Amino acid sequence: MSRLEAKKPSLCKSEPLTSERVRTTLSVLKRIVTSCYGPSGRLKQLHNGFGGYVCTTSQSSALLSHLLVTHPILKILTTSVQNHVSSFSDCGLFTAILCCNLIENVQRLGLTPTTVIRLNKHLLSLCISYLKSETCGCRIPVDFSSTQILLCLVRSILTSKPACMLTRKETEHVSALILRAFLLTIPENAEGHIILGKSLIVPLKDQRVIDSTVLPGILIEMSEVQLMRLLPIKKSTALKVALFCTTLSGDISDTGEGTVVVSYGVSLENAVLDQLLNLGRQLVSDHVDLVLCQKVIHPSLKQFLNMHRVIAVDRIGVTLMEPLTKMTGTQPIGSLGSISPNSYGSVKDVCTAKFGSKHFFHLIPNEATICSLLLCNRNDTAWDELKLTCQTALHVLQLTLKEPWALLGGGCTETHLAAYIRHKTHNDPKSILKDDECTQTELQLIAEAFCSALESVVGSLEHDGGEILTDMKYGHLWSVQADSPCVANWPDLLSHCGCGLYNSQEELSWSFLRSTRHPFVPQTCLPLEAVGSASNLTLDCLTAKLSGLQVAVETANLILDLSYVIEDKN
């Protein structure tokens, strides 16, 4: 009863977006995320005065999960970006920047939220349908029969995370490893429904990145002493595996709600141990070669098994249970009694391995979709960043497998899209407005706000004071270094566009991204031969970018629609 306390009244604020505090916090967040964006993005060091380790990152997932956001509006923004990242891994910063830009640009216009939201939605669906259409000029098909485009995709992800601290050579190496790890998870004889396997990332810190490697099967880390105790098995056929999920430590299992009275002199421990040894005998007579246990194995049972040349490994932990079940084809055993012969699985071979200072027990599968990616990096923070990046890349590859398309990266998709929308709203506003109550002027205003929001996302790719240009044919992005002389001889200053598809020797005309241009039709329908010839493209994941775009516009709409904020002060 004493915990019953009167609740404090909530704080209610109207028109939250107009308040100065919200604007400044929004712009602070925007500055944080924009400065992280892209290959030359600046790193953020997050450290907590109360302890914990220092995190150096430029990735949205690490950044936002560490940031302590208190204002409810920012919370909406950051959680929606975080939710996007946790389902698609990629394009988090893009989403956050676009959302901030949209809010900022639209607020300047002073139109009613109804109009803004309605038109933003129209423009979004215009973008989505264009990016999904056959005529889209900024997406390319992904060919799974060659590694070229897949490698480009992985490399683009790695280079966009400068906090991994990789050299060019290391980037190449890690990209290849990630692609191998991904390919190993695809089952060989897939019919109809494909179930992908898993790549487990094994940490190896304080090693050279070049030492990273991919191995099929599962690595179980062990101390050297333990590993020495394991007897080498020499067997030509596959090894029989028993995997226990129940404890083999001799605990007395649940006895029910009532009381159990044990008479004097009766030792339950002995009784259970007898049971365990019986189990051991059964395992031996079933010719099991390898006993794995999620929990603890009683030392006597371990001894017994070792005596009979059975390898016993315990304390596997719950995370490895699923991949182990999958790889060995066992049924996790939950019984100390009779074990059904169907529950046993098999592995091709086992061996011990040493990487750096760590010792591993390596289970080699017959044919399975589980592999281990041993990832090395120089220090903890760089390793954490690299691990996140690898997970992102693996996820992006999975998404690409589902939807085999990639978008041109390096900002070219955004500028191209902006050019397309400008052209569309300028030449054919009726088809966008349809039966709506909005006027064409309102559409022009919002479209300009939308396009410049997209363009300033790519504008934030440039951190070193350079200029960003766009060409008037493809609508791609070109960047010039800061110290280059201001002359009109663009073809010599520029070499390739952001994604690397076009070079400057074509007859193109350029203009600054910030300047106003006449709407032009960006060339649609990407020619396939152009893609085939280019070897070093920067690519983005289509699925992630589409969702990022949608989430950014939806979230901006949500925030613009707010008329009150009620803060619970309890």
Q: Which 249-278 positions form the footprint of other proteins (CB under 8 A)?
A: 253-263, 266-268, 270-271, 274-275
Applying CB under 8 A, does 392 fall inside the site for other proteins? no
Size of the site for other proteins (CB under 8 A): 78
Cβ 5 to other proteins shortest distance, Å? 8
Cβ 410 to other proteins shortest distance, Å? 25
Of residues 201 and 531, the one with the C-beta less far from other proteins: 201
Of positions 135, 145, 285, 340, contacts other proteins by CB under 8 A: 340
Within its chain, how far is the Cα of 350 from the centroid?
Answer: 32
CB 479 within 8 A of CB 410: no
User: Which tokens go with 182?
Assistant: 């991904």
Of residues 439 and 505, the one with the C-beta less far from other proteins: 439
Of residues 113 and 466, the one with the C-beta less far from other proteins: 113
Instruction: Compute the distance between CA of residue 359 and CA of residue 354 in angstroms, rounded to an integer.
Output: 5
Among the residue ranges 54-62, 233-241, 330-338, 513-521, the one whose residues contact other proteins (CB under 8 A): 330-338
CA distances from 235 to 239, 312, 325, 348, 566 (A): 8, 17, 22, 10, 70
Of residues 85 and 305, the one with the C-beta less far from other proteins: 85
Of residues 247 and 524, the one with the C-beta less far from other proteins: 247
**Of the candidates 451, 429, 544, 567, the residue with the CA atom closest to the CA atom of residue 156:** 544
Binding mask 343-382 for other proteins (x = CB under 8 A): x---------------------------------------
| Bridge partner list, 54 | none
Residue 203 sits at the vertex; the CA angle it makes with 151 and 229, to the nearest 5 degrees, is 130
Residue 400 sits at the vertex; the CA angle it makes with 395 and 403, to the nearest 5 degrees, is 135
The full length of the chain comes to: 570
CB 321 within 8 A of CB 374: no
Of residues 4 and 487, the one with the C-beta less far from other proteins: 4
- How many CA atoms does the CB half-sphere of 53 hold within 13 Å? 9
Instruction: Compute the distance between CA of residue 280 and CA of residue 302 in angstroms, rounded to an integer.
Output: 9
Cβ 116 to other proteins shortest distance, Å? 10
Binding mask 530-559 for other proteins (x = CB under 8 A): -----------------x--xx--xx-xx-
Of positions 333, 368, 433, 494, contacts other proteins by CB under 8 A: 333
Of residues 189 and 259, the one with the C-beta less far from other proteins: 259
* Three-state secondary structure call for residue 135: coil
Of all helices (H) and strands (E), which one includes residue 527? none
Binders in 462-491 for other proteins, by CB under 8 A: none
Of residues 375 and 544, the one with the C-beta less far from other proteins: 544
* Three-state secondary structure call for residue 14: strand
Cβ 330 to other proteins shortest distance, Å? 10
Binders in 61-80 for other proteins, by CB under 8 A: 72-73, 75-76, 79-80
Residue 431 sits at the vertex; the CA angle it makes with 427 and 437, to the nearest 5 degrees, is 110
Among the residue ranges 225-233, 329-337, 345-353, 451-459, the one whose residues contact other proteins (CB under 8 A): 329-337
**Of the candidates 568, 569, 445, 563, the residue with the CA atom closest to the CA atom of residue 18:** 563
* Three-state secondary structure call for residue 12: strand
Tell how strand 467-471 and strand 510-512 pair up: antiparallel
Binders in 97-156 for other proteins, by CB under 8 A: 112-114, 117-118, 120-121
